[in-house]
Amino acid sequence: MVTIDLSTMPVREGNDALRAAAKRGEDIEILNPDARHHIGVGLIHPVTVRVKGSAGYFCAGLSHGARFEVESNVGWGVGDSMYAGSVVVGGNAGAIAGVALRGGEVVVKGNVGSRAGQVMKAGTLLVCGRASFLAGYMMYGGRIVILGDSGDRVGEDMSGGAIYVGGKVQSLGSDAKIVDMTPEEDADIRAFLKTYGVPFDGTFTKIVNAGTKLRYGVNEPISRPLPHPVFSEGDSYWNAKVAEDIHAKSLIGRYRIRGYGAAKPVPHFGDIAIKVDPSRIGAAGDPTKAVKLAMTLGERHGAKPLTLSMPVLIAPMSFGALSKSTKVALAMASRLSGIVENTGEGGMLPEQRKEAAQLIYQCLSGRLGWNIHDMLKADALEIYISQGAKPGLGGQLMAKKVTKELAAIRGIPEGIDLRSPSRHPDIMGADDLVIKVEEFREATGYAKPVSVKMGAGRVRDDIKIAYKDGFDFVQLDGLQGSTGAASTEVLENVGVPTLSALQEALDGLNEIGHDGSMPVVMMGGIKDGVDAVKALALGAGAVAMGTAALIAGGCISCMQCHVGNCVVGIATQDPEHEARYKTELQAQAIHRFLESVRWQIAAITQALGYSDFRQLSRKDLVALTPEAAAITGLPYDPDYRVVDEQLLTQVA
């Protein structure tokens, strides 16, 4: 047995030694843990780890196959996202014990804090004492066994799994109910208790989902689908769209859901002009060879950075919102163009990983599809806080899209209207966030960049938190970003326009004297290389494209994203619809579009007299509207609009 004394070394060094010993097949004893965070995170070898004392946050988190024995107490999130193996805690556990559990067994001999088993998907969480409030909150599967009292609102918004309470059920959560327990279930639980030497001679009360909120009760009336460009037209007050919306709500009695993005006009990059030098237009040679576009992203804390052939990324979009065929096409296109693809919030597809040369792996609040093995396969990790189309809210995926394959990847029940949490279970504020970032770094040996995706809300404050919490880069999503499904009220009325969001982020960073080491990747309605140049000149480090890439790959903007009837096979999980999508053909189309973006960025940069896109600056821009001038602080020159259009036509 290898002994690791944490009184003589930091946890990072201790975890390195722990993983090295486990790789050799040796058991480990941890001395003087002193409630340190992240002990044993990311361990993927079937060894025994004995912790002589108390552990802090996320002990045994993101592990697979090991057995942890903690002598005393643990902090938040013991066994976080554990795939298999076991954790036995001799004392009490803090909040969210067994959070996002994907398998294995977490046994707490004492009491547990609030929200035990939140968003867990499989495995067993055993609480030998009492549980605090909201045990089983939003759990998708697995079982929780509480030998003492349940705590208030047990099973709140659970959609799968079962909770067994040996003491008093203090109160049931929303959409939870008590049902009869079979003799086989009772015998299985008692056998489980015997395995861990836990005596119990009482009776159990079984709690499951009541099934009243798994799907929306009333379907929206069928309306004629309009392409988003048509849907977005017209500004008369009592128009047909307004009347149709009122009629639909009178039938369903709730908010309406749709995909895509905001339809109302707001200030955007079209309200800014580029002051191109006419004498530079028509310069000899290929601008893509004359202008430096390559960059790296994510080296702020010494991780291996992403390498991009140009300052463009594929924006995060999930398997679920999009079909597998589309995700694979995006991965192929990203490889062909030398940029990076992003899994989005629905987990990593093996086919996607195979085709993408570089892949960012995103962690959602519901920990959908999240596991240590895919973390190790990824080139960068990303914490999703929210998105521009619905900042501050969780995701929605309608039941028709939650197929057997998708449910297995995400770890959720098949065929439910999936509504993921609006906030991470273990991130209540900036202090929690920095601990979460360090967990990801510890689990992957500090080798991968860690970014954050955030929707534009309180940008000036949020960007400061991101900088101080140590992210390698930020993906900032503005109001014009699209989504697979959201409330129309949110799409149109919540969030900050992309142009404003970028300026607020830059202002916020300037207020704390940032050193430029944390680039802002701007997204949300970036439609071409011209928009990209404007964003880069304003101060963005790079841009990300989502909707534009989908349109390049065949999207006809038919507004059927949320219902899964996408006629071209993009925003669907229906096999017949998806069969229409020609993955390799559309991958080439997306690649050609990205190459046109490359050419636009290079040509405009060259026309401005520069040899490197990093030379772009605010002095190359002018505002065409008083709103854009007020937002950005650029000089207001509405007469430049005609000049701008003529010059850009010449460049193109």
DSSP notation for 234-272 = ---TT-HHHHHHHHHHHHH-S--EEEE---S----GGGE
How would you write 599-630 as a 3-class SS string? HHHHHHHHHCCCCEHHHCCHHHEEECCHHHHH
Q: Phi, psi (5° rounding) for residue 449?
A: -60, 150
Those residues of the chain that have pLDDT short of 70 are: 222-225, 234-235, 280-284, 651-652
Domain ranges of the chain: 2-209, 263-632
Q: So what's the pLDDT on residue 88?
A: 98
Whole-number Å distance between alpha carbons of 33 and 79: 17
Q: Could you report the per-residue pLDDT of 601-649, keeping only the tens digit for each? A: 999 999 999 999 999 999 999 999 999 999 999 999 998 887 777 777 7
* In contact, 636 and 626? CB cutoff 8 Å: yes
Question: From CA 484, how far away is CA 560, in angstroms rounded?
Answer: 9
Which pLDDT belongs to residue 387? 92
CATH pick for 2-209 out of 3.30.200.20, 3.40.980.10, 2.160.20.60, 1.20.1050.10: 2.160.20.60
Pick the CATH number of 263-632 from 3.40.50.720, 3.90.1530.10, 3.20.20.70, 1.10.287.3510: 3.20.20.70
| Per-residue model confidence (pLDDT) at position 650 | 72
Q: What is the pTM of this model?
A: 0.95
Q: What pLDDT does 282 receive?
A: 61
Give the whole-angstrom CA distance, residue 416 versus residue 412. Answer: 9
